[in-house]
Amino acid sequence: MNKKRLSLSQVVQNFDRKHILTIILSITLSFAAISIMGNMLYQATQDVLEMRGEIDVIQSSDRFNSYLIVDKNALIVAGNDVNKMLLDGAPTDEILEYLTTQSGNLSNTLAKSFTGLYGWIRNEYLDGAGWVPDDDFVATERPWYQAAITHPQSTVFVDPYVDVQTGNVMMTIARLLDDGESVIALDIGLEGVQEITETVAANTPGGMVMVIDNNSTAITHSITSEIGKNYSEDEGSLGSLIIRTAKANNGTLEYSEPFTVNHAGKSYMVFMNHIEGGWHSISAIDTHFFYKPLIRVILFTLTLGIFALVLFLLNFYSLSQRELRNRILGIQIKAVADIYDNLLDINLTEDSFYELSNHKKAEISADKQMNAQKVLYDRTEAWVAESMKPYMEEFLDCSTLNQRLAEKSTLTAEFLDIDNIWYRGRIICAERMNDRTVTRVLWGTESIDDEKRQQEHLQHMAETDLMTGVKNRISGEYSITELLNSGKGGMFVLFDIDHFKLFNDQYGHTVGDQVIIAVANCLKNAFRANDIVMRLGGDEFAVFALGIHSREIGDKVLERFFDYINNIVLEKSVSQKICLSAGVVLCPDDNNALNFIQLYAAADKCMYDSKKIEGNHVTYDDRGSMAYTPERM
């Protein structure tokens, strides 16, 4: 059983509460460890993502502010100088000359698209770059003038526009001067801000960066096709979703905590920061680019965990299978040990043993570990009947076991113990070396007394005619054949009851059965115990009397038999006399000429001759030295 593969259901059925708790605990701990690790990785990725977003939005804000602050400061300085000139009463031509000179100086430090300082001063449009407007140009109606008048205490950033001369996206910075009417302004190109936007976005995989004004219009965008879109009016774009979500969260774009939006099947984490001019720098990062490695790590970890769990379960299953095998083996060994009155595990190499069971009434004093051969002989001396001790000592000779077990795996011997009880001893090969040398055997004895008695009873039943108690034809023929084959001769007699049918017809089968039984009893009484008495069938009987080779002795035996026949008493209503006809064949010892069939045929012929004469009559076979003349009894 320990080599047989156990099915999964057998092993699972063997699980007890300890096994189930171990499996549940292992699975729980495994998934808990994976969950904790996954959560830690997720949190770490989340922190990295937020840090990356914060860095992007802060970096872009700082760079935007740095870019814009130079222009703003340049305008502030120019505004201060023009204020002083107005206060000192400087002529308009001197102010224009200043604007022209200062525009030349600033063109080397500001953006390439810088067009110079200009403004509405003393109710006159002055342009430091020398630009002459059309006749229909009204400065006080321009957005830059209106924005400055509306915000008298600050430098204002006017909404971007496309310069008609250069085609560049431009932005105006304007400032109201101290007289409350004059405004100074400068235009700068936004290509620098766009470069910053694209650079910051390129540094972050899956990143999108844009700058929007207070009207939610994209001033710059890492996706150039989005520049100029008003996201408060646009529908369905990522930018519009971000603006609506930010306003929904805070009611304003002034400040917003990082938040997440889902667009076109992707998830974006959004970061916002306020920059110069009342604009807002917005960074949106596609979380897939950050979570994809995390997902891979988690899947790998999960796969590794499941693999480890499977290995654990397989190992646990293997251990459980081994435990179940050992348990079954223990049950089997115990069952086998309970069968045997005495069971020893003997190590032939060390001449040692281990006693698996000993149910015999007497305990044999011996070394419980060593001297196995001596223990076997001691127990033979104490348990085995005297007549069988030599046989069992030879059987238990360990020095000859390798030879006797060369082609076998077990040896058996049956013996009687001192109480005349039958036992069967068995030697079982338990271990061999590669060269077939036997190194370990099991020696056990079991009582077979009931089995022996039952066998004897069954054999007797099989060999006996149930009505008469004598041998039946099969067993009688077999016994006679055995005697003939062994060279033993004797007198073979075949009997037949005369007119037996009349007993059945006139008096019934009960009387007929009584006649057959009475004849059988006479045969048993007249012949010896070692003679073979058999009923061939119906009213026909046969006897093989050992050692009777002469007619003279045969006559005496048969005369005794017929005396018994004549003394049979049946029911009073039965008037018919029991008579038999017999045929006799004398068979010498060491005879090779006759077998049972020949004996039967010769005796049958003689019996047929006897039936020709009324009354008990015997006819002898006439064969050379065995020929005798029939004689009336």
Q: Beta-strand (E) ranges in 207-347?
A: 207-212, 218-221, 259-263, 266-274, 280-286, 342-347
Say if residue 545's pLDDT is above 90.
yes
Radius of gyration of the chain (CA): 64
Residue by residue, DSSP assigns 576-620 as PPP-EEEEEEEE-TT-SS--HHHHHHHHHHHHHHHTTSSSSEEEE
Question: What is the CATH number for 560?
Answer: 3.30.70.270
Per the CB < 8 A criterion, the answer to whether 105 and 81 are in contact is no
Task: List, in order, residues 6 or more apart from 17 with CB less than 8 Å away.
Answer: none
Say if residue 623's pLDDT is above 60.
no
Question: What is the CATH number for 431?
Answer: 3.30.450.20
Domain count, the chain: 3
In a domain, 456, yes or no: no
- The sheet carrying 490-497 orders its strands as 532-537, 540-546, 490-497, 580-587, 617-620, 631-632
Same domain (yes/no): 267, 354: no
> How far from 232 is each of 226, 245, 258, 285, 453, CA to CA, in Å?
13, 11, 20, 21, 111
Identify the domain containing residue 616 by its residue range: 464-632
Same domain (yes/no): 414, 483: no
How far is it, in rounded angstroms, from Cα 515 to Cα 525?
A: 15
Run of H or E residues at 491? strand 490-497
Domain boundary among 305, 328, 351: 328
In a domain, 489, yes or no: yes
Same domain (yes/no): 504, 548: yes
In a domain, 333, yes or no: no
Same domain (yes/no): 79, 170: yes
Backbone φ and ψ of 628, nearest 5° = -135, 150
In a domain, 457, yes or no: no
Same domain (yes/no): 444, 468: no
Residue by residue, DSSP assigns 42-54 as HHHHHHHHHHHHH
Same domain (yes/no): 259, 348: no
Tell me which of 37-46, 100-109, 189-198, 300-309 is least confident: 37-46
Same domain (yes/no): 284, 431: no
Tell me the pLDDT tens digit for each residue of 426-454.
999 989 999 899 999 998 888 888 887 88
- Residue 209 C-alpha from the chain's centroid: 55
Same domain (yes/no): 423, 471: no
Same domain (yes/no): 45, 164: yes
In a domain, 459, yes or no: no
Same domain (yes/no): 441, 516: no
In a domain, 379, yes or no: yes
Same domain (yes/no): 305, 217: yes
Same domain (yes/no): 97, 212: yes
Say if residue 295's pLDDT is above 80.
no
Tell me the pLDDT tens digit for each residue of 220-277.
788 877 877 888 787 778 888 878 887 777 666 665 678 788 888 888 878 787 776 6
Say if residue 367's pLDDT is above 50.
no
Domain boundary among 272, 307, 328: 328
Is 595 or 633 the better-scoring residue by pLDDT? 595
In a domain, 458, yes or no: no
Task: List, in order, residues 6 or more apart from 281 with CB less than 8 Å away.
Answer: 57, 60, 61, 64, 209, 210, 211, 272, 273, 274, 275
Do β-strands 342-347 and 280-286 pair in parallel, antiparallel, or remain unpaired?
A: unpaired
How far is it, in rounded angstroms, from Cα 524 to Cα 295?
A: 102
263: its two tokens: 């667009």
User: In 3-state terms, what secondary structure has residue 436?
Assistant: coil
